[in-house]
Structure 1
Amino acid sequence: MNNKLSITYLILIITPIVFSCRGPVKEENKNNTLASSLSVDAANEKYVIDIKESVVTWKGSNLLGSNNHTGYVYISKGELIIKNGNLMGGTAEVDMNTIEDEKHGRNNGLVDHLKEPDFFDVKKFPSSTIVLSKAAPINSENRKVAGNLTIKGITQPVTFPAKMEIKDGIAKLNGRLVIDRTKWDIRYKSGKFYDLLADQTISDSIEFYIKIVAKR
């Protein structure tokens, strides 16, 4: 009986010692992993988009003839991630309620129509987003930027050429993105979905000229 009690006491004494010895090892590994993650992230620099200096210019046109419309829409927030002078990623959220025509007018038939379900359905989808994933260098100033564009809740991959300049804590990106609007369920007067539109057919291509100024 005494032998059994002695063995029991011995187990009770040894068990916490074993677990207390193993605990710090796990915690050390956890801390090392965290430190490694932080050291990688430390190489990245975040540049916050200056929404007063940044703008997206849009252009749409009829498929036939010279009739076209141009205007603006504004970025509400976003950031660029820079590492060693290279664009590593970023995000930009566009406030679709800021759509303007080329004369900076927001209260007119054109803008009202663009906000309706025929086009961007702004009441249901008040914002659009582009998430940049990478930028491959073309030359010293120009990049081929890849990312995902979300319009009307639909996300599609996109690529576009952009000129990058990073100097004195300021990153500037100027790019031209052309999309097929029907991929984002914008079908109004598209020749792919409607017949006999003739010269009223609207081009499926929408051009976006992106100007981003971001500061560290």
Structure 2
Amino acid sequence: MNNKISITYLILIIAPWFFGCRGTVKEENENASASSVSLHVGNDKYIMIDTKESVLTWKGSNLNGLNTQTGYVYISKGELMVENGQLMGGTVEIDMNTIEDKNHGSDNNLVNHLKDPDFFEVKKFPFATIVITKVASINDENKNVTGNLTIKGITHPVTFPAKMEVKDGIVRANGKLVIDRTLWDVRYKSAKFYDNLANQTMSDSIEFHINIVAKK
């Protein structure tokens, strides 16, 4: 995957593929790597997301499922709040300019179209964010994550299942988020807004696979 990011057609994010509730930073190691920094706020620990190892993968398709597109988008920055080995919150910022198609990279007609006003209007809205507001434990590994997803300046709550592991100072989390793109004003070839599209109708559902690595 070459460390690439899963928000279709982002449609997406994600992040942008991951998470919220950030407190006031009291201590920061300014000499630490930008991709792996540990911050402490009282009894809470903020662990910076490693942007080189984390990836958000998107998947979109026609309504009939015959034409499927998959690609990546990169996390520009983010942090997870972990307390006593449990995910408590966090934030993820996704750089929409980094959208890529799995088979053809970042310089192709599909990606250029995804950046247009038809889809994500990246020039006006270069970043998407996910802010985690609640984490409910199903068991030690499986969680239900609730947060606010912002795309194109529009924010809606989302809830998705995720798995999380904390081991040797490394947090690994992955989840699957499916959104209705039209809620974020991504209307291109949606049957909700256009008639007589026939086989060209695109599914309103966008699937994101979020893989996050954060380190002390």
TM over 0.5: yes
Measure the CA separation in 2 of the matches of 1:65 and 1:143: 29
Give the structure 1 partner of residue 185 of structure 2. Answer: 185
What residue is the counterpart of 1:90 in the other structure? 90
Answer yes or no: is the 8 Å Cα contact 1:173–1:212 preserved in 2. Answer: yes
Offset of residue 65 of structure 1: 3.9
Q: Distance in 2 between matches of 1:63 and 1:98?
A: 26
Q: Bigger relative contact order, structure 1 or 2, given CA contacts below 8 A and separation 6+? A: 2
Q: Per-residue displacement from partner, 1:111-148 (whole Å, max 9, x unpaired)?
A: 00000000000000001000011210112211000000
Which residue in the other structure is 2:4 paired with? none
Partner of 1:51: 51
Question: Aligned equivalents of 2:69 and 2:145: distance in 1?
Answer: 26
Provide the C-alpha distance between the structure 2 equivalents of 1:65 and 1:89, rounded to a whole number of angstroms: 35
Mind listing any 5+ residue stretches in structure 1 that lack a counterpart?
1-39
SS at match of 1:70: strand
Question: Larger radius of gyration, structure 1 or 2?
Answer: 1
Instruction: Supply the distance in 2 between the matched residues of 1:181 and 1:159 (Cα, whole angstroms).
Output: 15
Find the counterpart in structure 1 of residue 100 from structure 2. 100
Question: Contact (CA 8 Å) 1:60, 1:203: kept in 2 or not?
Answer: yes
- For residues 186 and 164 of structure 1, the distance between their equivalents in structure 2, rounded to whole angstroms, comes to 30
Which aligned pairs between 1:1-216 and structure 2 lie closer than 5 A? 41-103=41-103, 105-216=105-216
| Larger deviation, residues 58-67 vs 69-78 | 58-67
Letter in 1 for 2:200: Q
Q: Is the 8 A contact 1:136 1:145 kept in 2?
A: yes
Structure 1 CA distance for aligned equivalents of residues 83 and 134 of structure 2:
11
Runs of 4+ deviating beyond 2 Å: none
Normalised to the residue count of structure 2, the TM-score between the two structures is 0.80
Q: Secondary structure at the match of 1:187?
A: coil
Q: Distance in 2 between matches of 1:53 and 1:135?
A: 23
**Alignment deviations for residues 34-83 of structure 1 (CA, whole Å, 9 cap, x no partner):** xxxxxx94221111000000010000000014211000000000000001
SS in 1 for 2:66: coil
* Residues in 2 aligned to 1:103 and 1:205: alpha-carbon distance in whole angstroms: 21
Among all aligned residue pairs of Structure 1 and Structure 2, give the percentage whose two residues are the same amino acid: 69
Gaps of 5+ in 2: 1-39
In angstroms, what is the RMSD of aligned CA positions? 1.6
Distance in 1 between the 2:54 and 2:103 partners?
Answer: 17
Contact 1:97 1:122 in 2 (8 A): yes
Say how many residue pairs are matched.
179
